[in-house]
């Protein structure tokens, strides 16, 4: 299988110890995952995103993991008007300012932006530090995503694109979806999206620094991811770019879906039918096969497919294939052959539990019409038995 990560370790040790039945560490000895003595509950102890970013940047330069397969044009623009109406209602009810036109500055509302914790085609993400005015010592941290215009992108399209992303992300309220607070201009006139800060970094960096995750560890993150996906789909939103880089973590192991730049509103609240979508977008290893072969398709199974690839990346530390195109990728061709073979597909067959293997095969069904749904995953015998950590249950 294609490698997800080279064998490079982080460099800061931890002296933390625990009397437990089992624990797992980063390659440098930092205890990241602890299972209680009864074997039923567990805890995550993740490193600060500020330290993880140094490792992440180094590895991404080597493997080019931040490249997008295809840039997608503006998505979900129909939500713009509803967001503006919502702001008008807020203004009428409580005098809340529209963040696109409010004179209040980014620094005044959310503090000064300092260190960079993420980079990508969209721009950069910084941490802003807001000093508590009551005591002048404590501070509140926010993640500030600074948008940048694409080459040859007009100001109108740029504004629609970032407003669309903000409309989608800010309309979602779930413990496994990042909480988006504001869209505001900085002192240079650049638009910034303000979000809650997840100090545990992203899942991609966690897998890089760990090699691969333990069964209970990966299962916990997977169930949190699936809960978030089911919620999004119930709200009529598809992400269309799910990958470990877009899954943020708190230091205690709560998982949050982020980056709705490719998000689509496939059904409005008053509608019953799903709007089909088209085009290829996202990162190649996570793109569903129907995106390459169908003129239009339901975006929900596309998200479900990506969760299966993410789960296998957590369990193996590798990508199953470079892209899900049987005529162009030998690894994907082997997967299709393995599905038909009595012996099965080896990487999935190596998963310990039959109920887990069956669900993963159903998630990674090449035919979207037969692919299992998020609700069916959560209601499966495997899904029901997965224990989520306390932080994952509360979202903190």
DSSP structural state of residue 337: H
DSSP for 68-93, please give it: -SB------TTHHHHHHHHHHHHHHH
d(CA 168, CA 195): 13
Q: Of residues 219, 241, 259, 329, which has the active-site annotation?
A: 241
d(CA 54, CA 15): 21
Helix H segments across 17-67?
49-63
Question: What 3 state SS string does 262-282 have?
Answer: CCEECCCCCCCCCCCECCCCE
Q: Is 187 a known active-site residue? A: no
Nearest alpha carbon to residue 206 among 167, 180, 245, 179: 245
d(CA 297, CA 300): 9
| Cβ-contact 167, 98 below 8 angstroms | no
Contact residues for 190 (Cβ-Cβ < 8 A; gap 6+) = 146, 147, 148
Contact residues for 319 (Cβ-Cβ < 8 A; gap 6+) = 1, 2, 3, 4, 285, 309, 313
Active site residues: 241
């Amino acid at each position: 299988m294609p490698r997800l990560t080279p064998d490079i370790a982080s460099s800061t040790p931890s002296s933390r110890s625990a009397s437990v039945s089992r624990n797992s560490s980063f390659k440098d000895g930092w205890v990241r995952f602890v299972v209680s003595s009864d074997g039923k509950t567990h805890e995550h102890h993740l490193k600060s995103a500020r330290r993880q970013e140094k490792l992440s940047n180094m590895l991404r330069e080597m493997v080019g993991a931040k490249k997008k397969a295809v840039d997608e044009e503006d998505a979900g623009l129909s939500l713009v008007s509803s967001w503006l109406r919502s702001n008008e209602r807020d203004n009428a009810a409580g005098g809340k300012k529209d963040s696109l036109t409010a004179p209040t500055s980014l620094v005044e509302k959310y503090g000064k932006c300092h260190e960079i914790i993420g980079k990508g085609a969209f721009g950069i993400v910084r941490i802003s530090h807001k000093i508590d005015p009551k005591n002048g010592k404590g501070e509140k941290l926010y993640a500030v995503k600074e948008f940048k215009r694409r080459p040859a992108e007009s100001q109108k399209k740029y504004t629609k694109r970032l407003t669309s992303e903000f409309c989608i992300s800010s309309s979602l309220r779930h413990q496994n979806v990042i909480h988006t607070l504001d869209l505001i201009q900085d002192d240079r006139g650049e638009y910034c999206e303000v979000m809650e800060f997840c100090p545990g970094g992203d899942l991609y960096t966690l897998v890089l620094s760990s090699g691969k995750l333990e069964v209970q560890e990966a299962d916990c993150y997977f169930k949190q991811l699936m809960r978030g996906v089911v919620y999004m789909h119930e709200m009529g939103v598809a992400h269309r770019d799910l990958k470990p880089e877009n899954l943020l973590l708190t230091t205690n192991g709560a998982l949050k879906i982020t980056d709705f730049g490719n998000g689509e509103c496939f059904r409005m609240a008053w509608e019953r039918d799903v709007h089909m979508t088209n085009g290829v977008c996202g990162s190649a290893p996570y793109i569903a096969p129907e995106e390459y072969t169908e003129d239009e398709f339901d975006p929900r199974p596309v998200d479900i497919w990506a969760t299966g690839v993410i789960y296998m990346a957590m369990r193996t530390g590798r990508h199953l294939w470079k892209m899900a195109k049987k005529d162009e990728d030998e690894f994907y061709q082997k997967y299709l052959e393995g599905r038909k073979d009595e012996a099965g597909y080896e990487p999935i067959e190596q998963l310990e539990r039959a109920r887990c293997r069956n669900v993963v095969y159903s998630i990674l069904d090449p035919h979207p019409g037969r692919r299992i749904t998020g609700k069916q995953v959560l209601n499966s015998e495997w899904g029901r038995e997965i224990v989520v950590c306390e932080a994952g249950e509360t979202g903190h």
